[in-house]
Amino acid sequence: MAALKDRYSAVAITLHWMIALLILGNIGIAWYFNTLHGMAKLPMIALHQSLGLSVLVLSLVRLGWRLAVPPPPLPAYVVGWERWLAIAVHVGFYVIMIGLPLTGWAMRSASPLHHILPIKLFALPWPAIGPLAGLPADQAKAAEHTFEAAHGLLGKLAYALIVLHVAGALKHQFISRDDVVARMVPFLKRKMA
């Protein structure tokens, strides 16, 4: 097998790991705030939405970077179902990295909660989505439930994608012993010459 000619750019690697940490942290926060009740939930919801909006902003930057600076192609030895699965998982990650924050933002915009706890990106005000924030109460409630259901489904997709992504990385690192993981992990040395 030939050596990898390229690894991801430093910008792509940095964005990958920042977004990954934010997503994993936000999953933990969501699990935690779902154990809370009443007003005790509000600070955790605010943190969850700030991290989610951060994921949205960074994911849009990452998508723009990917379009401007295409990633290195998968090595030629990644073939068949592995190649298809790798592409599907990466596309799926863009769906959740953008879709989860968008559905969360839409859900909060339709919720009357945004009048009590304004949407913020940490200390910075973040606008509610105007058409959703201005819906009559019955329509707003229906929209909030729809976006909440979509957010939940995307969350479940995130769990599946994380498992597949980590399993694939472990397979390449410890079973195939190839350079696939070294393309995204800066401190890993390439194994193939």
pLDDT the model gives residue 70? 93
Look at residue 33 and tell me whether its pLDDT is greater than 70: yes
Q: In DSSP terms, which residues pair with 121 in a beta bridge?
A: 124
Residue 2 banded pLDDT, cuts 50, 70, 90: very low
Q: How confident is the model at residue 26 (pLDDT cuts 50, 70, 90)?
A: very high
Find the DSSP H helices in 69-185: 80-110, 113-116, 130-133, 137-170
- Confidence category of residue 5, pLDDT binned at 50, 70, 90: low
Q: Judge residue 51's burial from the number of C-beta atoms within 10 Å of its C-beta, 0-12 exposed, 13-18 middle, 19 or more buried.
A: buried
Reduced to 3 states (helix: H, G, I; strand: E, B; else coil), residue 124 is: strand
Q: Which fold has domain 10-183?
A: Fumarate Reductase Cytochrome B subunit (1.20.950)
What's the distance, CA 143 to chain centroid?
23
Q: Supply the pLDDT for residue 191.
A: 65
Could you report the per-residue pLDDT of 91-133, keeping only the tens digit for each?
999 999 999 999 999 999 999 888 888 899 999 999 999 999 9
Query: What is the pLDDT confidence band of residue 85, given thresholds at 50, 70 and 90?
Result: very high
CB-based contacts of 142-151 (< 8 A; 24+ apart in sequence): 143/106, 143/110, 144/107, 144/110, 144/111, 147/103, 147/104, 147/106, 147/107, 147/110, 148/103, 148/107, 150/99, 150/103, 151/100, 151/103, 151/104, 151/107
The answer to whether 51 and 26 have CB atoms below 8 angstroms apart is: yes
Overall average pLDDT of the 47-73 stretch: 97
pTM, two decimal places: 0.93
Tokens representing residue 129 in the block:
């989505």
Instruction: Identify the pLDDT of residue 193.
Output: 47
From the CA atom positions of the chain, what is the Rg in Å?
Answer: 19
Contact 182, 189 (CB under 8 A): yes
pLDDT attached to residue 192: 55
pLDDT in tens, 135-193: 999 999 999 999 999 999 999 999 999 999 999 999 999 999 998 999 999 888 776 54
What pLDDT shows up at residue 3? Answer: 40
